[in-house]
Amino acid sequence: MNPRVLRTAAWTFIILSVVLGGAYFWGTSTIIADSTPPQIVEAATTSGAIAYFTGKPTVIMVVTENIGMQEATAEIFNIGLLGVRGSLVQKVTMTLDSRTGTNYQYKGAFTTVLDANKEYIIVYTATDTAGHKDTYETKIKMVAVEGKVTVNGIEVKNTYDKIYVNTLDLSIQVTMTAGAAQVKEIKGTVNTVALTFQRGYNSDNWYATYKLPGDGSYTFFLKVVDQAGGEVMLASFGVELGTEQRWPLIIGTLGVLGVAAVYFSLKPEPKPRR
């Protein structure tokens, strides 16, 4: 057959394949059905009285979502007449802090200094990839509480810290540096499971132990309960076991292997003997 005819036939076949492929295959799309809205886990989301520290609260929100999350926000409002939302103080877009299965944990850091001992309304909003929303409206109050929290000897310095450990066994100590005589109880939760604190021989100190079930991220909340039964958030922090600690070892191992590979690639081959 004439080469020119063959070439023409080949090009015709290619063009038809492109056209037909685009029409029948490349134009297809994947449809993901999601009729279930996200659900904010209120018990694991920051609310109530919070230790003042810098006056700029860092809050967390935990959301259960079956498909995927699009956005999480937190808005602080002044309280207006009749206890409803007043003027907006600040809105922040929260960042994904960790994920375990269908549970998403978000963190948001406000930059506006809030007034001490004043209540504010805070509204959390979770939006999934399908556009479904869930909102949780509650109140927060920045309270001047003085106390120090350590986990396995590591001090929790901010409203929301992340602490890395290399053991399942945790030892948590709370030392009240002011108003210790007014403290009735220290309450704590880890991923909503209650911790048991015991007062030490020194009335300023409280202790609790907890054994992590395995590698992963865990969220802790600690509250001070005064003699009148009022609760104040003393600290919230995350404990990470396993995942983060492996990266330095992995990177170091890859670095050693890389150096070895370069060395052997540059090593001159022995000259053949005559």
The full set of domains in the chain, from first to last, is 33-144 (2.60.40.10), 145-245 (2.60.40.10)
Q: Is the pLDDT of residue 6 over 70?
A: no
Residue 273's pLDDT band (boundaries 50, 70, 90)?
low
Q: Which of these, 136, 133, 160, lies nearest to 149 by C-alpha position? A: 160
Contact present, 77 and 260 (Cβ < 8 Å):
no
Residues of the chain with pLDDT > 90, as a percent, come to 35
Q: Stretch 181-209: mean pLDDT, rounded?
A: 85
- Taking the C-alpha atoms of residue 46 and residue 48, their distance in angstroms, rounded to an integer, is 7
Q: Which of these, 159, 216, 221, lies nearest to 189 by C-alpha position? A: 221
Furthest-apart CA atoms within the chain: distance in Å = 103
Contact present, 5 and 12 (Cβ < 8 Å):
no
Q: Stretch 175-203: mean pLDDT, rounded?
A: 82
Q: Is residue 10 left, alpha or beta, with left meaning phi > 0 and alpha meaning psi from -120 to 50?
A: alpha
Structure tokens at 42: 């209120």
Q: Any idea which of 52-66, 184-198, 259-273 has the lowest mean pLDDT?
A: 259-273
User: From the centroid of its chain, how far is CA 243?
Assistant: 14
Q: Which pLDDT does position 2 carry in this prediction?
A: 64
Count other Cβ atoms within 10 Å, centred on residue 141: 19
Q: Which of these, 126, 139, 137, 131, lies nearest to 64 by C-alpha position? A: 126
List beta partners, residue 76.
90, 122
Q: Which pLDDT does position 181 carry in this prediction?
A: 67
Q: Stretch 159-172: mean pLDDT, rounded?
A: 87
pLDDT digits (tens, 9 = 90+) for 108-140: 999 999 998 899 999 999 999 999 999 999 999
pLDDT digits (tens, 9 = 90+) for 9-66: 655 655 655 455 544 445 555 666 678 899 999 988 989 888 776 788 888 899 999 9
Q: Which of these, 7, 38, 200, 49, lies nearest to 106 by C-alpha position? A: 38
Q: Which pLDDT does position 25 carry in this prediction?
A: 45
Statement: the pTM of the whole predicted model exceeds 0.85: no
Annotate 175-244 with DSSP letters as a single string: EESS-GGGEEEEEEEETTEEEE-EE-SSTTEEEEEEE--SSEEEEEEEEEEETTS-EEEEEEEEEEESHH
User: What three-state secondary structure class fits 262?
Assistant: helix
